[in-house]
Chain A
Amino acid sequence: MSTFDNPFDAKHELTAGCSCGAHASQAEHDHQERSKTLQEVAASEDRRFENVVAGAVMRAIFPQDVTRRAFLQSVGASTALAAISQFFPLATATEVFAQGAGAIEKKKLSVGFIPITCATPIIMAHPMGFYTKHGLDVDVIKTAGWAVIRDKTLNKEYDAAHMLSPMPIAISLGVGSNAIPYTAPAIENINGQAITLSVKHKDKRDPKSWKGFKFAVPFDYSMHNYLLRYYLAEHGLDPDKDVQIRAVPPPEMVANLRADNLDGFLGPDPMNQRAVFDGVGFIHMLSKELWEGHPCCVFAASREFITTAPNTYAALLKAIIDATAFASKAENRKQIAEAIAPANYINQPVTVLEQILTGTFADGLGTVQKVPNRVDFDPFPWESFAVWILTQMKRWGQIKGDVDYSGVAKQVFLATDTTRLMKEVGLAPPAATTKTFSIMGKTFDPSKPEDYLKSFAIKREA
């Protein structure tokens, strides 16, 4: 089921998983729903709040989804809405609801980000006023690298920050830093990464010919690292023995590619598109071709922040979720590209950002590709994402021994909180917190992580 849902859409279930049955896969269904339903649902703040309240009322009147759908189909959505408004003051309820619960403890916040398009919701919420709308005065601070953003957040110089989705898990587990309970209440972006190779490898498109290549990923604890390793291993290359993978900060990737110091990278945008723009690389493959709808970066905050300033946290998260919903609409993407391009934010040419966000891009091989969901935005932190990340951390020896997969996933990926807040900003979250997905055609079942891990031929011994 889509994250952004309309309770007055007869085709939808309000309570459980994918319903329409018209799509081959969940991902496909999700995507279509996002582009379709979201546009009307998220159209205006007021209408969205109204939808939430109305959704709640509908659920109260028709506890059985089947009855509700039958009712809607027989009388039509507008009649139903009019009928309900008759005996329930929807307008008043919406108003009360929109004002929110408690007072915000701390209005002035600093949020750190790395200048890549993954951070789009965090960044755009500043120039486009999503923070102020939720009563916050937020400074978004550009940061030099993942280790620094981690340290500055742990130091409390930042109240919250943009991180790679495996980072809050690693911090919570104390891998690569002291163990501090950390959380990822919202995913920033899904898809939006790519494998970029140097132009001199234009004819080496088969990974089997990549032995001895030098690759870069942004950080050891990144989806980029795990996806690149996964891709190489599926093609029979051992990522630790047959190639070299190093952690290189994103801005250095293009410079190193130009200097012939790297053969390629699985990096975040804008670096992939920038390599094409500057004529030093070509896009071998988008990360969505590996795993459609994979998470990349998250919005992260310490558990301490959540417990000491719950209302601030809720307002901040609402602003992020709101911005994410706005960013998921294709027609807003050009406007966003312009808003985040200046030196104060991402500091890249608008042409580059537009190509990334609209998905109409030059691939470096002489063709213009059109992939509208090259990068997409969906805040829901599926716990199964965290479980998959943990399996890969274990697969490559970053963590050893027994892992409490679902326990860690629940603690870090706060799907329950997000569900509540998504409802509050007028979006309909999915009812489940886990789902299965497939990566390069191989299905991952979050309930059987150990079996999944065993199924790989190339891995480090635990």
Chain B
Amino acid sequence: MLASLPARAAVVSVLFFLSFVAVWHLATSGTGAVQKMDPEYAKLMGQTATQGTSAMPGPLDVGAKLWEHARRPFYDNGPNDKGVGIQLGYSIARVLLGYSLAVLVAIPVGFLTGMSPLMSRALDPFIQVLKPISPLAWMPLALYTIKDSNLSAIFVIFICAVWPMLINTAFGVAAVRKEWINVARTLEVGTFRRAFTIILPAAAPTILTGMRISIGIAWLVIVAAEMLVGGTGIGYFVWNEWNNLSITNVIAAILFIGLIGMVLDLILARLARLVTFPE
């Protein structure tokens, strides 16, 4: 009589969502204390002050705002005011560029370090020091040396996305079963052939896991980087709306950021499934 597990999970998810929205609606619908002011003065004041409405928007406001953005995602009112679709496009383009560069560097380097225990030990201290540095700590340095804010943002994506991939690639390559390598050796397989037909497929799931971690980090970083340098992108959009203290728009942007992040992660998860093999 019980429905399948996914169906039940979906029902529970919907219940969670509805109760969250209900609590949110109740929490923001109350009105606070209202001071008496004369009408001329009240005309110059905002709603929070005159009607005591909460400064935090309710779910209905946010829903209306989301609909407004979804209906007109690609408008362009000049360099500082573009639709949310265009802004997301800029962010995705930056992330993909920085991320592709990171893939191009991290996978070959990770491969080499994984295959050579000497290099692996020699590079380890550098990787360990560079890995935990916050993207925003790189930003001033990048702006100062690269002298271009757009390239700086891409560089920051690159530098933050490179480490998980590098470490995972090196680990995956080093952890290939010794028996397989030994079989290859007894069959006198050349180094290149060994790398591409044995090690790469064997390490692929670990490498893909690294890539999946990295894309998540890259998407986290872009918002912060764009808030800092401004100009275009979803991070700039958040900053611009914050400047106007428009929390409704900020929440809408947060939802969009979450959705895109989820899509990026799903794509990498699909790719990872393609290369997994049963042992």
* Chain B residues with CB under 8 A of A342: 77, 81
Stretch at the interface among A144-152, A289-297, A303-311: A144-152
B239 close to chain A: CB less than 8 A = yes
Distance between Cα atoms of A366 and B40 in the complex (Å): 10
- Shortest beta-carbon distance from B100 to chain A in Å: 24
Most buried by A among B140, B230, B239: B230
B143 close to chain A: CB less than 8 A = yes
B70 close to chain A: CB less than 8 A = no
* Chain A residues with CB under 8 A of B239: 144, 251
Instruction: Fill in one digit per residue for B207-240: 1 if any A CB lies within 8 Å of its CB, else 0.
Output: 0000000000000000000011111000010011
Interface contact A343-B80, CB-CB below 8 Å: yes
B197 close to chain A: CB less than 8 A = no
Choice from A157, A345, A349 contacting B148 with Cβ under 8 Å:
A157
Distance between Cα atoms of A362 and B144 in the complex (Å): 43
* Chain A residues with CB under 8 A of B77: 342-344
Interface contact A344-B148, CB-CB below 8 Å: no
* Chain B residues with CB under 8 A of A432: none
B41 close to chain A: CB less than 8 A = yes
Interface contact A279-B227, CB-CB below 8 Å: no
Choice from A147, A255, A367 contacting B245 with Cβ under 8 Å:
A255
B interface residue count range (under 10 / 10 to 19 / 20 to 34 / 35 or more): 35 or more
Choice from B46, B78, B240 contacting A278 with Cβ under 8 Å:
B46
Distance between Cα atoms of A140 and B43 in the complex (Å): 32
- Shortest beta-carbon distance from B248 to chain A in Å: 13
Distance between Cα atoms of A13 and B28 in the complex (Å): 63
- Shortest beta-carbon distance from B119 to chain A in Å: 37
Question: From B43, which residue of chain A is reached at the shortest CB distance?
Answer: A351
Distance between Cα atoms of A147 and B230 in the complex (Å): 12
B244 close to chain A: CB less than 8 A = yes
B275 close to chain A: CB less than 8 A = no
Interface contact B55-A278, CB-CB below 8 Å: yes
- Shortest beta-carbon distance from B91 to chain A in Å: 15
* Chain A residues with CB under 8 A of B80: 140-142, 343-345
* Chain A residues with CB under 8 A of B244: 343, 347-348
* Chain A residues with CB under 8 A of B116: none
Interface contact B45-A277, CB-CB below 8 Å: yes
Interface contact B49-A141, CB-CB below 8 Å: no
Most buried by A among B43, B44, B48, B81: B44
Interface contact A155-B228, CB-CB below 8 Å: no
Find residues 23-65 in chain B having any chain A CB closer than 8 Å to their own CB.
35, 37-38, 40-41, 43-46, 48-49, 55
Choice from B41, B43, B144, B245 contacting A366 with Cβ under 8 Å:
B41
- Shortest beta-carbon distance from B49 to chain A in Å: 3
Distance between Cα atoms of A415 and B143 in the complex (Å): 32
Q: A155 with B143: in contact, given A141-B80, A258-B55 (CB under 8 Å)?
A: yes
Find residues 319-343 in chain A having any chain B CB closer than 8 Å to their own CB.
342-343
Instruction: Fill in one digit per residue for B245-271: 1 if any A CB lies within 8 Å of its CB, else 0.
Output: 100000000000000000000000000
B178 close to chain A: CB less than 8 A = no
B120 close to chain A: CB less than 8 A = no
- Shortest beta-carbon distance from A351 to chain B in Å: 6
Q: A155 with B147: in contact, given A144-B227, A148-B229, A343-B80 (CB under 8 Å)?
A: yes
Most buried by B among A156, A278, A279, A348: A279
Given A347-B243, A348-B244, A366-B37, 10 extra CB contacts under 8 A: A115-B240, A142-B80, A144-B229, A148-B143, A156-B147, A278-B48, A278-B245, A279-B48, A347-B244, A362-B41
Chain A residues packing against B (C-beta within 8 Å): 115, 139-145, 147-148, 151-152, 154-157, 250-251, 254-255, 258, 274, 276-279, 342-345, 347-349, 351, 355, 360-362, 366-368
Q: Can you list 14 A-B pairs, Cβ within 8 angstroms, ordered by A?
A: A141-B80, A142-B79, A144-B227, A148-B228, A258-B55, A274-B245, A276-B45, A276-B49, A279-B46, A344-B78, A347-B241, A347-B243, A348-B244, A349-B46
